[in-house]
Amino acid sequence: MGEFVRLEVEDGVGTIRIDRPKMNALNVQVQEEIRACAAEAAERNDVRAVIVYGGERVFAAGADVKEMAEMSYTDMVARSGGLQSAFTAVAKIPKPVVAAVTGYALGGGCELAMCADVRIAGEGATLGQPEILLGVIPGAGGTQRLARLVGPAKAKDIIFTGRFVKADEALRIGLVDQVVADDQVYAAARTWARQFSAAASFALRAAKESVDRGLETDLETGLEIERVQFAALFATEDRTTGMRSFVDNGPGKAEFQGR
């Protein structure tokens, strides 16, 4: 457990909780603590799904600008890879991941939210990539993940202008997937995550990897990725359990063991 980021586990759901008052600024220490929590969530068998959460007030208002302002070109050359890979560690958790977005998710906060598979935002949430207003561009995946989520034209508009995106627009363009009352964000994220507590974990892992890796390549290669993952699941106990249960009892009644 880090000073500002911790992994809380209950009923098969792991919550990566960022708690650095007042605005959860994502300095180097927080980035590395996020990486550590993501690695722990990925490894623990009692974690079947993950929530990324910054608390009731704010998800993460962005990188620690005071820290970055003191960094030179060579400093950032040395750090930029670690910045990206810390966030990518969340994207690569081989389990369903949902970002519970309250308040501001700006700059690095928006980039972190986009590392999740699904984003649930409060009605008062505000997202955006305002780095251009600081004379830089998004550096933790914003130019790439945003374009993949909302398309290049909308991504360029948001990045070029640095403007803020309210929850209703974010839902309309696909930047978030659900909008709920501000005080229901974590509960909604937990409801989404808990549906996987007894799911076939290796099948979920294969599905996530197939989609994510397939998006990075051409259709033919993506289909081959899917084929290999599909065939590999026939080596799991859960596949045997699921198919036998379907034949004997119908769909949706299998009790999986994650093996």
Active-site annotation, residues: 111, 131
Long-range contacts for 151-160 (Cβ within 8 Å, ≥24 apart)? 158/128, 158/129, 159/129, 159/131, 159/132, 160/132
What is the 8-class DSSP label of residue 209? H
Residue with tokens 């998006």: 215
Tokens of 175: 């930047």
In angstroms, rounded to a whole number, what is the distance separating the alpha carbons of residues 58 and 69?
Answer: 23
Residue 253: Cβ within 10 Å count: 10
Is 143 exposed, middle or buried, given 0-12, 13-18 or 19+ CB atoms closer than 10 A?
middle
User: Cα-Cα-Cα-Cα dihedral of 48, 167, 129, 85, to 10°?
Assistant: 0
Sign of CA dihedral 131, 134, 137, 138: negative
Q: Which of 142, 136, 1 is nearest to 60 (CA)?
A: 142
In angstroms, rounded to a whole number, what is the distance separating the alpha carbons of residues 93 and 83?
Answer: 17
